[in-house]
Structure 1
Amino acid sequence: MFRAADRLKVVLQHLDRPSSRIKACATSAQVGACTHPVEFRYTTDNDVLTPEQRLFYEENGFLLIKNLIPDEAIDHFRTEFEKICRREVKVPGLLVMRDIAISKSEFLPDQSAVSKLQDFQEDQELFRYCTLPQILTYVECFTGPNIMAMHTMLINKPPDAGKKTSRHPMHQDLHYFPFRPADHIVCAWTAMERVDRSNGCLVVLPGTHKGTLKQHDYPDWEGGVNKMYHGIRDYDPDQERVHLVMEKGDTVFFHPLLIHGSGMNRTQGFRKAISCHYASSDCYYIDVKGTSQEIIEQEVKEIAQRKYNAGSDITLQDTWAVRGRLVKGQRTVL
């Protein structure tokens, strides 16, 4: 008998093969064997996803689309990343991050010192990723037609060299976001090269998107933890998990409540991926005071005050409002 993880792997290999039985029974609100109607909560009926793909996302909180982004686009983003690392390009608002294992004496102007670029919305070349029709076609299945690009990252996971600092603790992305509803937010995460367990692929806990936002803190790890790499305090470490092995150009879309992380990079090279979190422009901001998200608001305020001389009254909502960019449809609330 297959374990849950084994069954998921089988389904992943067949996502592009729609079930004729499912399609024959499907209506806008029902899919399956007709005797077991399904009410879709996390996806929209816009004729992009097959009924099988919708069912998979509804149940698991993620969907992997193979070979979505062409090699030439990936190579273009890689070239722009290298230019930024060499300081040939200066991008307003860009946050350049490095792994804590890299000492200041090793901080040279090349990609070996950069673990992540965050908030690249002002870089015309990298932001092309967020506007790719291939991406937005799928994003609309989760957000609806009015789409904001909210959070951008290019991740350059460094070789770990035994220090274990390249790991990313298990977390939920909604922890960082002061906008709701969660069901109208989705991440698109594209592998820029082969990503597997050897270089720290994404690992997800299927179905956890159906839960609630959990308390996050810095994990107590030997070697320390990178800035803002918060992890969930309490989750079942024995729960079935899936390691997402991806080829260059493969893209996974996942819900902001899905518990996920990534392992160590045990190779000698850097593992690159590019991503954007999207939200419906019909989403709205919330006040995180008095919630578990106060910890991230305080860190973000400290960064904004140090980097931009922001006032002490700045809020988490303020920092997100300046980052969002309309990429499709109309801007309504966000």
Structure 2
Amino acid sequence: MSALGEGVLNWDTDGTVLSVEQKQFYEKNGYLLIRNCVPSYELERHKRRFREVCEGKNVPPTMTVMKDVTIAKSEFVSGEKAITKLQDFQDDPVLFDYCQYKGVVDVVKDLIGTKKSNLLAMHTMLINKPPDSGKLTSRHPMHQDLYYFPFRPADFICCAWTAMERINRANGCLVVVPGTHKGTLLAHDYPKWEGGVNKAYHGIQDYDPSTPRLHVEMEAGDTVFFHPILIHGSGANRTDGFRKAISCHYANDDLCRYIDVRNSVQELVSNEVIEIAKKRLRKKGVDPDSFQIDYAVSDKSFISYLFKTRVWTHVQIHENNKFQVKLK
């Protein structure tokens, strides 16, 4: 294993743009670590809001609240200890402030655009990695984030991943394989691990665990920015405490467009996402084969999204700006 080296960069002044050397490091390695990018008072706000969500307070219906596979069906674990991840918090004003924080956005614009670029927050997460139960389910297999995204080009997508507390090898820090962002998107599937694997935690098929990698140890507020094809993962949390991080994947809206993932290495996860969506609709008493949503009929990008991602097989426009849509 190699030690983390020159990829550690210091954040000095709010609004600072990256140097040529910093951009070159990202282009060469596929990641960039910036110290003290997000202040502690912002992280404390997000922690408080996370605790509120765990208590069921004002949870947006669009947010996904997840549990570890080993505790998902337990009646004896509740509150903050039961929730291991929040996804899709774009409709939560406190948590979404992270995605709009200037110190983060400035860096992202420098990596995948310009100061005038329009960015979209495409995927949001707050990860509360639990102490491992002994079955190693708290680890995340080596993977590439682009596997989950039906849009391109990859070079104009970037993840910002911020430590909310000290993160090291003991509690399951990120590991990265520098330079792998220059490769291609590989086939993924659930790893054949004993003890179970969390939902949608796909990993690269036939990945060689002896491949040299870097452990990215971080302090609270440190933020690593990385390319969606970069191979990365995280280890098990072997401590008694939880390990929190918050992240957002950004896309340059001026350049990125949705693609059709049928008959590609992404089809497996695409089908799984569709089944998850159907299950959520059924829980709400909604027929997943036919339901209505509000959206401006004039929004061509949304209509294009419906067809290009093939999530829907039928779209019929009704009065009052409603779509009648059918899931695949």
TM-score category (smaller protein): 0.7 to 0.9
- Residue in 2 that maps onto 1:121: 90
1:121 maps to amino acid = Q
Q: 1:135 aligns with which of 91, 96, 104?
A: 104
Question: Is 1:311 aligned to residue 306 of structure 2?
Answer: no
Change beyond 3 A, Cα 1:315–1:306: farther
In the aligned structure 2, how far is the partner of 1:151 from the partner of 1:319? 17
Query: Which stretch shifts more, 237-246 or 208-217?
Result: 237-246
> Post-superposition shift, 1:315?
7.3
In the aligned structure 2, how far is the partner of 1:295 from the partner of 1:315? 18
In the aligned structure 1, how far is the partner of 2:207 from the partner of 2:193? 16
Change beyond 3 A, Cα 1:196–1:315: farther
- Residue in 2 that maps onto 1:230: 202
User: 1:165 touches 1:223 (CA, 8 Å); kept in 2?
Assistant: yes
In the aligned structure 2, how far is the partner of 1:109 from the partner of 1:254? 33
> Post-superposition shift, 1:109?
4.3
User: 1:107 touches 1:113 (CA, 8 Å); kept in 2?
Assistant: no
Normalised by the length of structure 2, the TM-score is 0.83
Question: Is 1:79 aligned to residue 52 of structure 2?
Answer: no
2:261 maps to amino acid = V
- The percentage of aligned residue pairs carrying the same residue is 57
User: 1:157 touches 1:271 (CA, 8 Å); kept in 2?
Assistant: yes
Higher share of residues assigned strand: 2
The alignment of Structure 1 onto Structure 2 pairs a total of residues equal to: 286
* Secondary structure of 2:122 counterpart: strand
Question: Is 1:199 aligned to residue 171 of structure 2?
Answer: yes
> Post-superposition shift, 1:47?
8.0
Instruction: Point out where structure 1 has 5 or more consecutive residues left out of the alignment.
Output: 18-45, 321-334
- Residue in 2 that maps onto 1:185: 157
In the aligned structure 1, how far is the partner of 2:233 from the partner of 2:156? 21
Question: Is 1:63 aligned to residue 3 of structure 2?
Answer: no
- Residue in 2 that maps onto 1:163: 135
In the aligned structure 1, how far is the partner of 2:154 from the partner of 2:87? 21
> Post-superposition shift, 1:49?
1.2
Matches within 5 A, 1:1-334: 5-6=2-3, 9-13=4-8, 15-16=9-10, 48-106=17-75, 108-144=77-113, 145-281=117-253, 282-308=255-281, 309=286, 310-311=288-289, 317=309
Change beyond 3 A, Cα 1:160–1:316: farther
TM-superposition CA deviations, 1:78-113 (whole Å, max 9, x none): 000000000122212111110011052336541111
* Secondary structure of 2:111 counterpart: helix
In the aligned structure 1, how far is the partner of 2:230 from the partner of 2:170? 23
Change beyond 3 A, Cα 1:134–1:318: farther
In the aligned structure 2, how far is the partner of 1:91 from the partner of 1:58? 37
User: 2:132 touches 2:236 (CA, 8 Å); kept in 1?
Assistant: yes
In the aligned structure 2, how far is the partner of 1:108 from the partner of 1:162? 16
User: 1:305 touches 1:312 (CA, 8 Å); kept in 2?
Assistant: no
Change beyond 3 A, Cα 1:237–1:65: same
User: 2:71 touches 2:77 (CA, 8 Å); kept in 1?
Assistant: no
1:268 maps to amino acid = D
TM-superposition CA deviations, 1:120-140 (whole Å, max 9, x none): 111111000000011100010
User: 1:87 touches 1:109 (CA, 8 Å); kept in 2?
Assistant: no
User: 1:191 touches 1:247 (CA, 8 Å); kept in 2?
Assistant: yes
User: 2:156 touches 2:251 (CA, 8 Å); kept in 1?
Assistant: yes
Deviating beyond 4 angstroms after TM superposition, the runs of 4 or more aligned structure 1 residues are 312-316
In the aligned structure 2, how far is the partner of 1:146 from the partner of 1:188? 16
TM-superposition CA deviations, 1:255-300 (whole Å, max 9, x none): 0000000000000010000000000102000000000101111111
User: 1:300 touches 1:316 (CA, 8 Å); kept in 2?
Assistant: no
Query: Which stretch shifts more, 189-198 or 139-148?
Result: 139-148
- Residue in 2 that maps onto 1:328: none
2:5 maps to amino acid = V
In the aligned structure 2, how far is the partner of 1:319 from the partner of 1:256? 22
Query: Which stretch shifts more, 212-221 or 51-60?
Result: 51-60
Normalised by the length of structure 1, the TM-score is 0.81
Q: How much is the aligned-residue C-alpha RMSD, in angstroms? A: 2.2
Change beyond 3 A, Cα 1:237–1:124: same
In the aligned structure 2, how far is the partner of 1:71 from the partner of 1:47? 19
- Residue in 2 that maps onto 1:327: none
